[in-house]
Structure 1
Amino acid sequence: MKRFIILLVMSTARSRELPLAEECVESFCKPPNCRCSSTNIPGNLAPRDTPQFVIVSFSDAINIVNIGTYRQVLYGRRNSNGCNAGATFFVTHENNNYQLVNELHNQGFEIALHSITKSIPQSYWAEATYDIYYKEFAEQIFQMTAFANVSRSAIKGMRIPFLQMGGNASFELALDLDLYDNTWQTNAFTGPGLWPYTLDFASIQECINPPCPTACLPGAWVLPLISWRDLTGSPCTVVDACYSSPDQDDEDSWYGFMLSNFERHYLGNRAPFNIYIQESYVNSFPAIKRAFTRFLDLINNLHDVFQVNSYEVIKWVKNPLPLNEYREKPCQEPFAPIDCTATQCGPLAAEHNGNEYWMKICTDLCPTSYPWYGNPLGA
C-alpha cells in the first residue's frame, strides 16, 4: 500500500517539456535500447534466416463465455521447436474474471493492459492527459497483481481502447511503466511490414487515429499493428472488421484468407504477423473457428514460424538471433504458476454508475466497493 501511495503522488507531479523527435540516424540508434522505425530486418538478416513471428492477441475482459474458446483453440499448442505457443490478452477491468486471468497467466500466456474503464466516447482517449493514462493503466497493474496474482514483472504491454492514439502522453506513461505499446496501426507498411522500434527519433509510421507521438522518448517501444488486406485489398487491423471478407460459413475460404495475409509477411521481410480478432466473432461462426484452428495447426508445424507472446518479439528485436540459433535456444520459462484462492465477492456497489457487481478474484480479502478508476482496489 505504501508503494501504491508513492506512485499516485508521482503521477500528479508529472509535467515536463519534451523535446521534438528528429529524423532517425541509424549510427546513433543501435540495439538493444534503440531502433529506428524501419521495414529493415533487425540484425540485417536475410528473410530466410529470420524467424517468422505470429502474434495472436485478444482484447477486453476475460469471462466464463470466452475462456471456452481460448481453452479449445490455444491451450496445449507448441511450436516446431518444442516451445509453448503464445498469445497476448489485453484485459479490461469491468466484468473481468480475475480467476480466469490467473489461469491464462499460469498457462504461459501474456497478460497485458487495456485500461480500467474502456471509456467512451473515443475522444476521451485522444484528449487524455498523462494523469488520466496513469489512472487507467498504472492503477490497472495494481488490480492485476492484487486480484489475479499476476506478477508485476510479467506485465509488459498496453493497448489503448479503440486503437485510439494518445499522443505523447500515453507513450510517456508507457515508458515510465516500462511497457511496450501495441496500439499504433499501420496501413502503409504492410508489405514489407514495419518492425518494432523505439521513439528515440521520429517515426515514419503514418498517423491513422491522431494524435500520434511527436516527442523524443528514448526507450519507448512501439509494436506496430500491421493491417491485413481484405478481399478487395483494403486494409483492416482487426480481422473481424475487414469489410470484404469470405462468407462466414466458408471454412476453406477463411483458411485461405488467413494464409494469404500470412504469406505477405512470410514471403516478404518477415515482419511480425498480427492476428487481432474478437473472440465473440470466432465463437459465433464455427467455420471461422475451424479455419483459425487449421491455420494455427499449420504454422505450429513450420520450422521457421513461431507463435509467441508479444513481448517475445520485442526481446528478439533487441537481440536478433538468426533462425538456426533461435530454434536451438532454450524455451522461455513461463512465470512460476501462482495459486488462486478463488473467492466470489459481491454485490459490490459502484460509485461511478450506481450499479452492483460481482467479482471473482484470487484472494480471500474482498473489496469494500467496486474497484474503479481512482480507487483501483475498492478500498
Structure 2
Amino acid sequence: MSGQTIVKSKTCMQMVMKWLLTLFRDYTTEEIPQIVLLTFDDSANDLNKGLYSDLFEKGRTNPNGCPIAATFYVSHEWTDYSHVQNLYASGHEIASHSISHSFGEQFSQKKWTKEISGQREILAAYGGVKLEDVRGMRAPFLAVGGNKMFKMLYDSNFTYDSSMPVYENRPPSFPYTLDYKLFHDCMIPPCPTRSYPGVWEVPMVMWQDLNGGRCSMGDACSNPPTADGVYKMLIKNFERHYTTNRAPFGLFYHAAWFTQIHHKEGFIAFLDTLVAMKDVWLVSNWQAIQWVRDPTPLSRINNFPPFQCDYQV
C-alpha cells in the first residue's frame, strides 16, 4: 500500500470518526433509536407469500404506530410481480438483486448496468414500483464487482449498495458514503478502490453464532437445533449493537431458511421481543440512510418524516 493510499484511508476514517463523535457528543446512547434492518433476497412468489404474511400482516408496528418495514432485494427469475406490487403497496422497500442472479465479479460495467439497472426497469414496469423508489441493490451471492459495479451505481443514480460484509466490531459500523475510499477490510474481493461521491454502503455487519463462528447472513450461520437456541443467537448479536453504539442491526435472510419450523419460531419470538421495545425501529435501508443523514433522538423520532407512513394498523 502506497503512502498516498494510507493517507487517504486515514482521512476517510477520520471523517467517519468525526461523524460518530458528533453524534455521541449530541446524544447519549440511550437517546439513539436502535434501527433494525430486515432484508430478504431473491424472488417473491407464492412460496414465500405465507411467510411474509406471518411476519408483516399480524399487526406488528413501530413505536409510532406505523407497520414494521423490510427491504426486498428482488431478482427476476421466478418472481411473481403481483407479490412485488403488494409488498411495495404495504410500505416495504423494493431493491434490485439483478435479472439473472449470476456471480458478477468479472462483469463489465455494461453488464452490471444491464443486470441491476435493467432489473430496476422491470420492477417498475411489472411490479408497479416507481423507478425512483428502486434506490438500492445487493449483489447475488455477495459477489461484489469492484469499481465496475460501483461506477454503474454512480452513473445510474442508485443511492446505495448493501453487499459488503464487515467485521462485527465493538462498536459495529454505521452506513457510510463512498465519498472517500473504503476504510475497512475487503472481506469478499473485488471491493471498490476509488471514491464514488453520494453512493452509500449499508454494510452487512457480521454475526457470531453461539460457537463463535462468523457469518454475513443469518441463514449462513451455524444455527442452533431449537427455537430457543435460535432466539438466543439473535439476542446475542442484537445486543452487540444495542448495548454499544446502536448502529443499525441487520437481519439478512433468504425466505427458504424459515421453512425449518424451529427457525421460524425462534425468529418470530425475537421479532416480538423487538416490537415490544419502545426504542427499536424496524425500517427499510432507505429509511435508515435518511436517519444517518439526519440523526434524530428518540425524543423526536415519532415525528421524524422518513419514519412516517400513509396508514396505521
Question: Which TM-score applies when normalising by structure 2?
Answer: 0.90
Say yes or no: does 1:100 pair with 2:100.
Answer: no
Say yes or no: does 1:323 pair with 2:298.
Answer: yes
Report the CA distance between 1:179 and its aligned residue: 2.5
Report the CA distance between 1:26 and its aligned residue: 7.0
Report the CA distance between 1:43 and its aligned residue: 2.5
User: Given the alignment, which residue of 221, 227, 232 partners 2:200?
Assistant: 221
User: Given the alignment, which residue of 34, 45, 50 partners 1:52?
Assistant: 34
Q: Decide which structure has greater helix share.
A: 2
SS at match of 1:145: helix
**2: distance between equivalents of 1:51 and 1:169?**
35
Report the CA distance between 1:256 and its aligned residue: 1.3
Say yes or no: does 1:186 pair with 2:166.
Answer: yes
Q: How does 1:131-210 map to 2 (within 5 A)?
A: 131-176=110-155, 177-187=157-167, 189-210=168-189
User: Between the two proteins, what is the percent identity of the paired residues?
Assistant: 34
SS at match of 1:275: strand
Say yes or no: does 1:266 pair with 2:242.
Answer: yes
CA contact (8 A) 2:66 2:309 kept: no
CA RMSD of aligned residues (A): 2.3
**2: distance between equivalents of 1:28 and 1:256?**
35
**2: distance between equivalents of 1:329 and 1:240?**
32
CA deviations over 1:191-218 (Å, ceiling 9, x no partner): 2111111111122221111011111211
User: Given the alignment, which residue of 55, 73, 96 partners 1:73?
Assistant: 55
**2: distance between equivalents of 1:38 and 1:148?**
41
Where structure 1 has 5 or more consecutive residues not aligned to the other structure, the ranges are: 1-18, 30-35, 336-379
User: How many residue pairs are counted as aligned between the two chains?
Assistant: 302
**2: distance between equivalents of 1:38 and 1:233?**
31
**1: distance between equivalents of 2:14 and 2:166?**
25
**2: distance between equivalents of 1:146 and 1:60?**
18
Q: After TM superposition, which residue ranges in structure 1, 4 or more long, deviate above 4 angstroms? A: 26-29
Match of 1:376 in 2: none
SS at match of 2:250: strand
CA contact (8 A) 2:13 2:183 kept: no
**2: distance between equivalents of 1:240 and 1:178?**
27
SS at match of 1:65: helix
Match of 1:246 in 2: 224
Q: How does 1:13-32 map to 2 (within 5 A)?
A: 22-23=8-9, 25=11
**2: distance between equivalents of 1:208 and 1:184?**
7
Report the CA distance between 1:39 and its aligned residue: 9.2
